[in-house]
Structure 1
Amino acid sequence: MFISIDGDKCMGHGRCYSVAPDLLSDDEQGYVAQCGQTFEIPEGLLEQAQEAADACPEGAISLLDHARADA
């Protein structure tokens, strides 16, 4: 399973890395540091990934079965 964070949609609310601290972190401007990336969710962190996606008011976080070809 993969997580994808859309850099165009992210507004820097910080809810994602607050609920998924073992998966996501913040940058110096308060945005998720992994903004614009798609990466494999490490074993044991799928629940945090789902919570991060659910917490994003902009819908910038998606969970994917496969990595996107353009990632």
Structure 2
Amino acid sequence: MNERDGRNAAKSEGLKVKGSIGVLFDALREDVIDREEALSMLSRFRDSPQDFWIEPCIIKLAMEKISLD
């Protein structure tokens, strides 16, 4: 399924939609993962775009925010 189609279907059912980085930040905030694990996951997203595509500038911003917090 196309990700956009899935998001649209979820929204049409009244569900909240959150992306992978949003889920990662929730896990970090709730101490499910630590900063090092979050940065490692973001590095994998960045280094393996064939497996999991997130816009590189978004990954960079997320990494900067985690590093500053």
Same fold (TM over 0.5): no
> Which structure's residues are more often helix, by fraction?
2
Relative to the length of structure 2, the TM-score reads 0.29
> Which structure's residues are more often strand, by fraction?
1
Relative to the length of structure 1, the TM-score reads 0.28
For the pair shown, the structure with the greater C-alpha radius of gyration is: 2
